[in-house]
Structure 1
Amino acid sequence: MAGNLDALADRISSYLAADQVNLVRRAYYYAEQAHDGQRRRSGEAYVTHPLAVANILAEMHMDHQSLMAAMLHDVIEDTGIAKEAISSQFGETVAELVDGVSKLTQMKFENKAEAQAENFQKMALAMARDIRVILVKLADRLHNMRTLDAMPPEKSRRIARETLEIYAPIANRLGMHNMRVEFEDLGFRAMHPMRCERIRAAVRGARGNRKEIVAKIEESLQHCLEREGLPGQVSGREKHLFSIYKKMRGKRKAFADIMDVYAFRIVVDKVDTCYRVLGAVHSLYKPLPGRFKDYIAIPKANGYQSLHTTLFGMHGVPIEIQIRTQEMEDMANNGIAAHWLYKSSGDDSPRSSHARARQWVKGILELQQRAGNSLEFIESVKIDLFPDEVYVFTPKGRIMELPRGATAVDFAYAVHTDVGNTCIACRINRRLAPLSQPLESGETVEIVTAPSARPNPAWLNFVVSGKARTHIRHALKQRRHSESVSLGERLLNKALASFETDLEHIPAQRIQAVLVEYKLSEFEDLLEDVGLGNRMALVVARQLMEGSEEMELAAQAPDSEGPLAIRGTEGLVLSYAKCCTPIPGDPIVGHLSAGKGMVVHLDGCRNIAEIRTNPEKCVPLTWSREVSGEFNVELRVELEHQRGLIALLAGSVTAADANIEKISMDERDGRLSVVQMVVSVRDRVHLARVIKKLRVLMGVSRITRVRA
């Protein structure tokens, strides 16, 4: 073991001071004592694992505190040594890092999905405190993946799946390409050993046939640079197994199609040269239109920078080329860890990757606070972990990064939560556009807001970013809660009216007794349950009145207050039945449906005939005098076939100040047409005016309102 430690000490002495190297040695000896007698599954002494983790971090030139934390990362969890002991020996920072890494692996849960989600939340919190916690954790996971063969198949598959779903995307999000590739290939091998082996064999076979072409292209690119007097190093890029597998599955491509593309990287001295090299290779081979990407001017969310272009090579062979500086190369391979590599250079670009990582973590914490539960949270984070971005501009020219497929609503929430919550329309490149239109890179997006606007449930069908989804759900939950409480209060007051009282006159201790009986902590929770139809207002009213004099009197005077008045502004907890489309002025009844609140039906609707007389399921309703809103109603119009029929009908409906929501037509015979249309009106009087306008049209023989 001493030999391995000396090798590590030699490696880190190239970039760390002697006293820091000694601190790392001390941490190793402390871990060796703490883990004395413990063995890994493979039979080796346990301390080989922390040493290997430290070696992985040393390859990335991580600072001495990270290396010490790597040595000690299992001490708190496995040996019962307290955090305070580590703090007194190695300082507060190292103890915090060790504690952070330990907490990520400690908790156990009922089901795996929940466990994974909870662990992920803890990871977000740990990263927010010190980003090095996650780097130590990633190195720990990488060594575990490298030694996965010692695990039973079931467990190794579970660890591999978790690695592919969570750790590989995190490494990617932090810009750590080398680590992501290794995670993916090791995870792939553990999850699908047969598929992995077959692809590996196919790659080996294809490599022989490709050698000659790769050498020729490499030579011509190198000559081109020398001819132009540009310093640069050309190298061929190997596709790794998991990315081949993903392309074969996701894009439904054959192995041969994927291997037909040749990939090269050109590493140069400075940014200016990158663009000169781009010009040179474009004059050597013809570029493929639409395939050039400038990630130097607009870096990816994980800080990745490079120029990407695709060319038609010899014999029409497609060649993918990445052009970047040495620093960008290190940033691409080690991502956020390269921040330590360039710490002393005073250059700002690596820090931008550090700042981006922090920004992302801050966003994750915000999601965590808003999400209803851990599974909802992990769904949002997984969306944000796959960073296929589009870049759009605010009207003032600021660049915003959004996931591919993002819409104006995602953009609005990315600008600010309040902008998203009050968004009503958008302009894309100064022209009005639907909120659901996917954005393209380079577009300028402007959001139109209104102070009284609120998020629309339909937005959840098209938003793609975790932030937008979480905030919309949060706003809808808040709104649904307040509307359920308000409807519950009205329903309960109506039920109490039959006992000639209301909620204000119920003694507080009686309310408390009912809450205890229902195992609820707040009275609002009870009102919400009533509003959502989970509890019957009449039953709750009886509970509240139990033992009182009014209870006896109520039998003689049932329901003295009359039906509940509907205002049309109840929102999410009150909906109108699609089977009979009631409108103000129609006789109506309310059906309480568990979890959905109240559904308003026509009094004679056949769908509720069986429960019509059940006072616990049906509530008598009436329309309020101040009813407002638009209500849909279906009409069937029979008329003689004529040219411009739809335009005629639409003109008449518009003249009556109404809107057509849907229209369809079928011919009964060559002469007669039947038109079905859904019209939105304010009330029965307005509907009568629409029908009157339609009646005077030439050839109209019959108009009927369609009901269940």
Structure 2
Amino acid sequence: MLQELLSKIDKSPAEIDKEVVIRAYNLASLAHKGQTRLSGEPYVVHPIEVAGILVEIGVDTNTIAAALLHDVVEDSDYTYEDIEKGFGHEVAELVEGVTKLGKIEYRSREEEQADNVRKMVLAMSKDIRVVLIKLADRLHNMRTLRFKSPDKQKEKAKEVFDIYAPLAHRLGMFKIKWELEDLAFRYLNPTEYYDLVDQIAEKRKEREEYIQRIIAQIKGDLERAGIPCDIDGRPKHFYSIYKKMNNKSKTLDQIFDLTAIRVLVGTIKECYGALGQVHTIFKPIPGRFKDYIAMPKPNMYQSLHTTVIGPQGKPFEVQIRTYEMHRTAEYGIAAHWNYKEGNDKKTVDQRYVWLREMLEWGNMTQDAGEFMDGFKVDLLEGEVLVFTPKGDVISLPPESTPLDFAYRIHTDIGHRTVGAKVNGNMVSLDYRLKTGEIVEILTAKGPKEPSIHWLSMVKSNHAKSKIRSWFKKEKREENILKGRELLEKEAKKRGHNFSEIARGVPLHQIITRYNGTSIEDLYVEVGSGQTPAAFVVTFLTQGEEKALALPTLEEELVTAKDLVEDAKKKAEARKKRKKLKSENFFGVTVTGMDNVEVRFAKCCTPLPGEDIEGFITNVRGISVHRSDCPNFLRLKQVEDPDRFVEVAWQNQKDSFYAARLRIDAENRQNLLTDVMMVLQEMHVGTNAVNAEEQGNGKSVIELSLLISSSNLLTELIKRLKKLPAILDVHRVGGA
């Protein structure tokens, strides 16, 4: 067993001290002597397998030692001090972190599950390696789950889907995530799992032959183009296929992309070169190109994804990335963790700031149900990726609003938010953001207070905790008076005197529930709107169970009464907006008009710096065109002159606008690569790229761009025209 582990270490990219590993193994063997697992194997097999999983990931010596020792303190007479004496403070801290984390179990009691998850978040925020050990521990336990009872198998499988697989995804550890999901799928839905396995096995040979033909064709073309590469056909994982069949209501025969072709190259330039070759061989499907190299995912994943039409008209996916990107795609944070002496190994990378925010949310939120809902939002539900006006990518939970975006940028910006633009259009603060949108926040020039009603609008725990914190800290004295008044009124309404019911053990319990030390802290909790007075009075008079059955704060905020109040406020807001000048929209002013809606014409999509004119439409306000737009010139010939108005650009910094280019060129190697490199050098973003060979020795490349001005677009066109074999570059109306 030890020899097998040492052999893995010899192949590891990390520098691991074998002497330390051997000593840790010897202590683990001694501590677990005589202990067996349900399989009948010696217990020490488990920590060895956990350590082996982590060696493959490429972690450091101390993490391997801690993995071997992770059950020693819990299952033997050895102590934290023993481990610290033998292996140092860091290994002891890691072992203690895993021990304190304990076995996170999915329980019927939400309070217990929430407490366990809080422990996990706290452990991760202190040292991310604790959760790496926990993930490897769970993976090996899932591999041996067949020895558990059916009920236990389902319980453990559900834990994987609820906590561990999404956590692995968030950390970018896809290799572990995929295996966890397939194992959990097998035990949670065994009938569907084995049916799918049988269906896939029936046509495996035919599918493998098809993929090998494609791989040979791509590899040959890339080698002829001077791009060395490794290519393989990665079968989609069973659970991934199962989800796709369910989500799209399709049979297995209707799902063509059961295998993804993965192309690994040496450099970023070769990635784009390989993309150009693939699009030359196979016709790309419009809208299915994703550039995660230019815009990496929050978990550091980088790759080019494109879906093309293969032989027999079957679509398949191609993923192109460098070898370094591939390692990150497989192992996420573990591939980049800094283990060198002298560096702070406990600092979570800025890309994992969500860990600290989740911890902050856990400290702010005492209600178990609310905490678990927030945990699932931040960890389990995927993400929406939006852009700042400068082009930075911001990751938010699904259904997030401009307020969530504002608080993600900075707490002060969130507090001072008065409005928002999405893709240049004014939107309400409760607008649900979608991936790819550009968000701009409008703020008050001076100090401004957040609204308690924002709690019912925001989705992210980060925004909720910042809003609550403001009300708790900024108005303490006011909230004490307000809270006392609300509690006295609520108690009187129920026939009680608050001073009489606010005493004894129940009062102490509810104060400590909110981490308070005095009744004033309870007044602040109620006065700031964080806890309803009804909850406190019910808790004091009828007990915790009855109080927990009451609506939460967010539920109260959307009652009929509050909806009426919101309607009144929105009506007032509309009146105020009517006073705003039209310069608030798209950075364009309309001469002589203040109260008017402004839109860009899709036929010409004007950019700042270009001459523009306005046309009064029948129902959609002012349509802004380029002065030389053919459609606009035709309108001038047939429409009433009074419908044409003067418009002008306002000074709009850091805003981006849509534009499209068409490039006609002679076929040559690295054409698309050179085009993409020009875009990168000029810091021009792309929404979509489509390259197509015309069959007459010529190619067409269409680019959908995000660009800040007409001057930059003009300069870009000049640069592109200088590239070899370029015949023409021109702008296409309507982005």
Report matched runs for 1:420-569 at 5 Å.
Answer: 420-450=414-444, 451-455=447-451, 457=453, 460=456, 463-471=458-466, 486=482, 489=485, 515-516=502-503, 519-521=506-508, 522-524=518-520, 525=522, 532=533
Report matched runs for 1:134-153 at 5 Å.
Answer: 134-153=131-150
Report matched runs for 1:24-103 at 5 Å.
Answer: 24-103=21-100
**Counterparts in 2 of 1:113 and 1:88: CA distance versus 1, 3 Å:** same
State whether residues 511 and 523 of structure 1, in contact with CA within 8 Å, keep that contact through their aligned partners in structure 2: no
Q: Deviations over 1:208-239 (max 9, x none)?
A: 33233222222221222123222112211201
1:224 equivalent to 2:211? Answer: no
1:199, CA displacement in angstroms?
Answer: 0.5
| C-alpha distance in structure 1 between counterparts of 2:23 and 2:532, whole Å | 64
Give the aligned partner of residue 302 of structure 1.
Answer: 299
1:393 equivalent to 2:387? Answer: yes
Structure exhibiting the larger radius of gyration computed from Cα positions: 1
Give the aligned partner of residue 370 of structure 1.
Answer: 364
1:331, CA displacement in angstroms?
Answer: 1.0
State whether residues 17 and 61 of structure 2, in contact with CA within 8 Å, keep that contact through their aligned partners in structure 1: yes
Deviates more, 1:284-293 or 1:410-419: 410-419
Report matched runs for 1:312-331 at 5 Å.
Answer: 312-331=309-328
1:50, CA displacement in angstroms?
Answer: 0.8
State whether residues 392 and 441 of structure 1, in contact with CA within 8 Å, keep that contact through their aligned partners in structure 2: yes
1:335 equivalent to 2:326? Answer: no
State whether residues 299 and 351 of structure 2, in contact with CA within 8 Å, keep that contact through their aligned partners in structure 1: yes
Q: Deviations over 1:241-274 (max 9, x none)?
A: 1111111223322222224555211111111100
State whether residues 41 and 151 of structure 1, in contact with CA within 8 Å, keep that contact through their aligned partners in structure 2: yes
State whether residues 491 and 498 of structure 2, in contact with CA within 8 Å, keep that contact through their aligned partners in structure 1: no
1:55, CA displacement in angstroms?
Answer: 1.0
| C-alpha distance in structure 2 between counterparts of 1:99 and 1:224, whole Å | 54
| C-alpha distance in structure 2 between counterparts of 1:413 and 1:167, whole Å | 28
Q: Kindly, what percent of the aligned residue pairs are identical?
A: 40
State whether residues 168 and 184 of structure 1, in contact with CA within 8 Å, keep that contact through their aligned partners in structure 2: yes
Corresponding letter in the other structure for 1:364: M
State whether residues 420 and 455 of structure 1, in contact with CA within 8 Å, keep that contact through their aligned partners in structure 2: no
Q: Deviations over 1:409-444 (max 9, x none)?
A: 221121123433442310223432222333344543
State whether residues 39 and 46 of structure 1, in contact with CA within 8 Å, keep that contact through their aligned partners in structure 2: yes
1:520, CA displacement in angstroms?
Answer: 2.3
State whether residues 100 and 119 of structure 2, in contact with CA within 8 Å, keep that contact through their aligned partners in structure 1: yes
1:276 equivalent to 2:265? Answer: no
SS, match of residue 297 in structure 2: coil
1:246 equivalent to 2:243? Answer: yes
Q: Deviations over 1:364-384 (max 9, x none)?
A: 222222223343223222222
1:458, CA displacement in angstroms?
Answer: 6.5
**Counterparts in 2 of 1:282 and 1:404: CA distance versus 1, 3 Å:** farther
Corresponding letter in the other structure for 1:131: I
| C-alpha distance in structure 2 between counterparts of 1:23 and 1:126, whole Å | 24
| C-alpha distance in structure 1 between counterparts of 2:169 and 2:293, whole Å | 18
**Counterparts in 2 of 1:466 and 1:292: CA distance versus 1, 3 Å:** farther
| C-alpha distance in structure 2 between counterparts of 1:45 and 1:94, whole Å | 24
| C-alpha distance in structure 2 between counterparts of 1:390 and 1:107, whole Å | 28
| C-alpha distance in structure 1 between counterparts of 2:212 and 2:387, whole Å | 42
1:93, CA displacement in angstroms?
Answer: 0.6
Deviates more, 1:24-33 or 1:524-533: 524-533
State whether residues 9 and 21 of structure 1, in contact with CA within 8 Å, keep that contact through their aligned partners in structure 2: yes
1:387, CA displacement in angstroms?
Answer: 6.8
1:313, CA displacement in angstroms?
Answer: 2.0
SS, match of residue 502 in structure 2: helix
State whether residues 483 and 573 of structure 1, in contact with CA within 8 Å, keep that contact through their aligned partners in structure 2: no
SS, match of residue 450 in structure 2: coil
1:265 equivalent to 2:265? Answer: no
| C-alpha distance in structure 2 between counterparts of 1:494 and 1:61, whole Å | 59
**Counterparts in 2 of 1:290 and 1:576: CA distance versus 1, 3 Å:** closer
TM-score for both structures, normalised by structure 1:
0.67
Q: Deviations over 1:505-555 (max 9, x none)?
A: xxxxx997763268425555589599946799xx99xxxxxxxxxxxxxxx
SS, match of residue 237 in structure 1: strand
Give the aligned partner of residue 409 of structure 2.
Answer: 415
| C-alpha distance in structure 1 between counterparts of 2:570 and 2:13, whole Å | 72
State whether residues 453 and 557 of structure 2, in contact with CA within 8 Å, keep that contact through their aligned partners in structure 1: no
Q: Deviations over 1:468-509 (max 9, x none)?
A: 35545666889999769527538959999xxxxxxxxxxxxx
State whether residues 490 and 533 of structure 2, in contact with CA within 8 Å, keep that contact through their aligned partners in structure 1: no
Report matched runs for 1:109-148 at 5 Å.
Answer: 111-148=108-145
| C-alpha distance in structure 1 between counterparts of 2:237 and 2:486, whole Å | 64
State whether residues 294 and 308 of structure 1, in contact with CA within 8 Å, keep that contact through their aligned partners in structure 2: yes
State whether residues 54 and 67 of structure 1, in contact with CA within 8 Å, keep that contact through their aligned partners in structure 2: yes
State whether residues 14 and 59 of structure 2, in contact with CA within 8 Å, keep that contact through their aligned partners in structure 1: no
| C-alpha distance in structure 2 between counterparts of 1:162 and 1:287, whole Å | 39
1:17, CA displacement in angstroms?
Answer: 9.7
Higher relative CO (Cα under 8 Å, sequence separation at least 6) belongs to 2
Q: Deviations over 1:69-101 (max 9, x none)?
A: 111100111113211111111111110000001
SS, match of residue 520 in structure 1: helix
Task: List alignment gaps of at least 5 residues for structure 1.
Answer: 345-350, 497-509, 541-571, 584-627, 633-708
Q: Deviations over 1:545-570 (max 9, x none)?
A: xxxxxxxxxxxxxxxxxxxxxxxxxx
State the aligned residue count. 529
Give the aligned partner of residue 197 of structure 1.
Answer: 194
SS, match of residue 289 in structure 1: coil
- CA root-mean-square deviation: 4.0
1:155 equivalent to 2:155? Answer: no
**Counterparts in 2 of 1:487 and 1:135: CA distance versus 1, 3 Å:** closer
**Counterparts in 2 of 1:280 and 1:34: CA distance versus 1, 3 Å:** same
**Counterparts in 2 of 1:153 and 1:424: CA distance versus 1, 3 Å:** same
State whether residues 177 and 335 of structure 1, in contact with CA within 8 Å, keep that contact through their aligned partners in structure 2: yes
